[in-house]
Amino acid sequence: MKKIELEIIALSHSVAQNQSYAVILGELNSPRRLPVVIGMVEAQAIAMAIDDMPRQRPMTHDLIANICHEFGIDLREVIISKLLEGVFHATLICNRNGEEIEIDSRTSDALALAVRFRCPIYTYEHILEQAGIVLGDTNTAEQKPEREKIVSGKEQTDLSRRTLEELSTLLQEAITKEDYERAARLRDEINKRK
């Protein structure tokens, strides 16, 4: 399978899930985005590495990176390799003394390590088709009337009452506003009906 390279575009707080964050991965030179919900600790680990913030003591992901460096293990790439029941799975592709080693990982941990090793992040087309969102044309979205805002506590019920056309309109609005977390929920509801 052909790998598609991604880059970390944004990290935002999740309104719908308490103490969760969304890391937004973007396909290089493309409007396609892959939002991944992660925990607070992993979000902090990613943000600190991206911003190169000094730390008094190594965090868990720093410790893992230090151990890898000491034992001559190089993280070459991260692949978001599966999407099972709405959960992303990742594979770490490592190299030690010329031998390639694949290690199963939570996607959030894999991303935190990818930032530390400055290695590429990849996924496959079928995962982007299932879980990705595409940034739309902002001009057409601005011309549409503003829809009622869905509140997070009732969102799933409200979404189930919407027509596919309404969901598609809301999805484009969420993408235009770069509310990728909401866009992911809307995309999931649309995919459930197909």
Does residue 122 share a domain with residue 159? no
Mark which of 107, 131, 155 sits at the end of a domain.
131
Domain that holds residue 172: 136-193
Q: Domains in the chain: how many in total? A: 2
Mark which of 105, 131, 157 sits at the end of a domain.
131
Is a pLDDT exceeding 80 seen at residue 3? yes
pLDDT digits (tens, 9 = 90+) for 125-169: 999 999 998 876 444 333 333 323 323 333 444 677 778 887 777
Percent above pLDDT 70 for the chain? 83
Placement of tokens 């993408």 in the chain: 175
Reduce the DSSP state of residue 31 to 3 states and report it.
coil
Does residue 168 share a domain with residue 74? no
Nearest Cα residue to 38 out of 6, 8, 63: 8
pTM score, two decimals? 0.71
Does residue 109 share a domain with residue 189? no
Phi, psi (rounded to 5 degrees) for 104: -70, 140
The predicted pLDDT at position 100 comes to: 97
Does residue 145 share a domain with residue 125? no
The mean pLDDT value for 4-27 works out to 83
Q: How confident is the model at residue 17 (pLDDT cuts 50, 70, 90)?
A: low
For the chain, how many residues are written?
Answer: 194
Nearest Cα residue to 180 out of 35, 11, 31, 19: 35
Does residue 73 share a domain with residue 28? yes
Does residue 63 share a domain with residue 142? no
